[in-house]
Amino acid sequence: MSRRALAAAALCAGVALYAGAGLRASFTPPFPPLSQLVRGPFQAQDLHLAAMGVRAAAADIAWVQLLQYAGGEPAPTEGPGRRYNMLKDMTLRVVRLDSRFQRAYAFGAAMLAWDTEVQRPDEALDILQEGIRNNPDYGLLRLMVAALAYKKQGDVPRMMGILESSLDDPACPLLMKAILANIHKERGEYAAALAVWENMLASGYDDASYRERAHRQIDDIHRLSASPDMVGPDAIWPATKAVLDKFDAQCRRMSIPDTGHCLVDFMAGAGAKPAALAFTRRLEGAGYLRALECHGRVSVAYVTYPFRANSNEGVLLVNGRPPLVDVSDPDRMKDFWQDARLKAIRSRNPEAEIWASDPGRPKVARRKGGGWRFVFMFPVRTCRACADLARLNAAFDFDARGGVLGIFLDGVSGTASTSSAKP
């Protein structure tokens, strides 16, 4: 071969090597490397299928197994706070087999962030961030990150607005829609919850389990919204200070029962909604609904009693069975005095009582087996202005259908060892 031919061959080889290096540098493998596969009980299966060159099929199998896990009951070893503790790993297993499996990111993150039995938003964020890195044009994941940020801030209205905007996205998982509908239902926003379930049915999904669930929920919401005792957001009277000042001038000097009639008449004249007037009438005109927090079938109603002499704020648990429970009713807690710690306090302070007139905001938790527990802290004193002899936690338990299970003493703290009875 001549020198000219050798030079030309060397030049071509050099160009080919340079081009190959450039292609390798710009080439993005269609699947993550095998080293990123999730370790666990399915690791051997995943490695075997990946080595055979069928990673997309392996991801499909992993997806089905994720759905089976998410749809089953939590394992007995998964205690409170760690329900479905394999959920993050099983989601990552799918997307590490196929990083373009977009609905797996959305499904896993939605369940981790918003399912009431899971509530692990930090793990959801990890999944969403990985999904965005691998699928930068998949806008639903960015929406979910924004909704998650508002959830962490406690800004529920903005969170709901973002989740609502994702409903028409064909990639929005059914789980996300079901979660959104349930949040609306728990907040007493029945029209919005119905709209989401009906949207799911109208979308033509062929998932029989979700269609059956949608029909059940729609029937249940119709039943709840038709109940005359149901207290929803429309029962709130958002009175401004100026309005309340006018109310004081008009009604304060009256005596019972004229005060109650005056409150209802004043609210009607101030534009209160019919549901707000109905709630005040249920209280015989003694107060109005200031705020409402919904937790499943039972809601916490914060009530203002404008005619009371000392404490004007109260709390009722509503929408359960019975439909209205006054947490400040001393008769509900009379059995607490059988507790040895409280007996000892009363033996030293015969005038000691549970002062439940200003209950404040409860701690709310899901009960194991379903339902809710509302825990209120009440002081034990000998008079309203006296020092606390102790503080007790009163737990009001409701089952999943809103039936009251009982009121229980859930702890006593700060017990005093000396008498503070009035001289």
337-391 residue pLDDT tens: 999 999 999 999 999 999 988 888 999 988 877 788 999 999 999 998 899 999 9
| pLDDT at site 82 | 61
282 plus 355 within the same structural domain = no
253 plus 379 within the same structural domain = no
Q: What is the pTM of this model?
A: 0.56
| pLDDT at site 181 | 86
Instruction: Mark which of 326, 348, 370 sits at the end of a domain.
Output: 326
Question: Considering the chain, what percentage of its residues have pLDDT values greater than 70?
Answer: 84
Can you give the CATH number for the domain in which 115 is found? 1.25.40
| pLDDT at site 56 | 86
**What's the rounded mean pLDDT across residues 74-95?**
74
- Residue 12, pLDDT above cutoff 60: no
Instruction: Mark which of 326, 358, 384 sits at the end of a domain.
Output: 326
Per DSSP, 73 falls in state: P
Residue of 86 and 210 predicted with greater confidence:
86
359 plus 314 within the same structural domain = no
108 plus 158 within the same structural domain = yes
Q: Report pLDDT digits (tens) over 147-157.
A: 888 888 888 77
User: Is residue 50 within 8 Å of residue 34, measured between CB atoms?
Assistant: yes
User: Is residue 235 within 8 Å of residue 190, measured between CB atoms?
Assistant: no
Q: Which residues contact 91 (CB under 8 A, 6 or more apart)?
A: 66, 104, 105, 107, 108, 109, 112, 127
User: Is residue 35 within 8 Å of residue 93, measured between CB atoms?
Assistant: no
Structure tokens at 366: 């899901």
In a domain, 27, yes or no: no
For residue 288, the tally of other CB atoms under 10 A from its CB is: 24
Residue of 99 and 83 predicted with greater confidence:
99
Mean pLDDT of the chain, nearest integer: 81
| pLDDT at site 8 | 47
315 plus 385 within the same structural domain = no
In a domain, 205, yes or no: no
| pLDDT at site 34 | 61
- Residue 89, pLDDT above cutoff 80: yes
In a domain, 125, yes or no: yes
**What's the rounded mean pLDDT across residues 79-85?**
64
46 plus 161 within the same structural domain = yes
Q: Which helix (H) or strand (E) holds 234?
A: none
**What's the rounded mean pLDDT across residues 59-79?**
77
| pLDDT at site 396 | 95
In a domain, 250, yes or no: yes
248 plus 318 within the same structural domain = yes
72 plus 165 within the same structural domain = yes
Q: How far apart are the first and last CA of the chain?
A: 121
In a domain, 17, yes or no: no
| pLDDT at site 14 | 47
Task: Please state the domain count of the chain.
Answer: 3
Q: Report pLDDT digits (tens) over 158-215.
A: 888 888 887 777 777 788 888 888 888 877 777 788 888 887 777 766 677 778 888 8
Q: Which residues pair with 288 in a beta bridge?
A: 304
151 plus 245 within the same structural domain = no
In a domain, 164, yes or no: yes
| pLDDT at site 419 | 35
80 plus 166 within the same structural domain = yes
116 plus 243 within the same structural domain = no
Instruction: Mark which of 172, 205, 221 sits at the end of a domain.
Output: 172
Confidence label for 140 from pLDDT (cuts 50, 70 and 90):
confident
| pLDDT at site 155 | 82
Domain that includes residue 352, residue range: 330-413
Q: How do 353-354 and 363-366 pair as beta strands?
A: unpaired
| pLDDT at site 125 | 93
3-state helix, strand, coil split of the chain in percent (to 5) is 50, 15, 35
The beta-carbon contacts of 187-192 under 8 Å, at least 24 apart in sequence, are 187/156, 187/233, 187/294, 188/230, 188/231, 188/232, 188/233, 188/292, 188/294, 188/299, 188/319, 189/232, 189/233, 190/221, 190/224, 190/225, 190/232, 191/225
92 plus 45 within the same structural domain = yes
**Alpha-carbon gap, residue 201 to 382, rounded angstroms:** 60
The beta-carbon contacts of 415-419 under 8 Å, at least 24 apart in sequence, are 415/341, 415/344, 415/345, 415/389, 415/390, 416/345, 416/387, 416/388, 416/389, 416/390, 418/348, 419/348, 419/349
For residue 72, the tally of other CB atoms under 10 A from its CB is: 9
Structure tokens at 113: 């962030």
In a domain, 407, yes or no: yes
Q: Report pLDDT digits (tens) over 256-305.
A: 667 778 899 999 999 999 889 999 999 989 999 999 998 878 899 999 99
Q: Report pLDDT digits (tens) over 16-65.
A: 444 444 433 343 455 666 666 777 777 777 777 877 878 888 889 989 98
Q: Which residues pair with 342 in a beta bridge?
A: none
Residue of 40 and 93 predicted with greater confidence:
93
In a domain, 15, yes or no: no
